[in-house]
Amino acid sequence: MALTPEDITRIARLARLELTAPEAQRMRATINDFFAIVQQMRAVDTTGVKPLAHPLAAVQPVALRLMPDEVSEPDQRDACLANAPAAERGLFLVPRVIE
């Protein structure tokens, strides 16, 4: 899959980016190079390869340093909401930005 100049124009418009023609060309080449790398990676047969939790686990044992799933910070919701211009039922109220 390769992006066309029209694809780049559409993506830039959606992202609200103003790209010059040389920037758009460079962006298209960069993204298409990335897609080519992804295609090369997809071509590798990974049948029978177990997923790794850490890339080093393929060559040496790795002990994962997981923290216990415990609450470590006190609940400061009320203190945070005290500074809000508007709040309701424990939530910040913000102006509507999407019509």
Listing DSSP states for 32-72 in one string gives HHHHHHHHHHHTS--TTPPP-SSGGGGTS-----PPP----
Mean pLDDT of 12-34: 96
Nearest to 9 by CA among 32, 29, 25: 25
Work out the number of other CB atoms within 10 angstroms of the CB of residue 94: 9
Who contacts 91 (Cβ-Cβ below 8 Å, separation ≥6)?
Answer: none
* Structure tokens that stand for 9 in this block: 């124009």
pLDDT digits (tens, 9 = 90+) for 37-58: 999 999 999 999 888 888 888 8
Query: What pLDDT does residue 62 have?
Result: 86
pLDDT tops 90 at residue 65: no
pLDDT digits (tens, 9 = 90+) for 68-88: 899 989 999 999 999 999 999
Query: What pLDDT does residue 40 have?
Result: 95
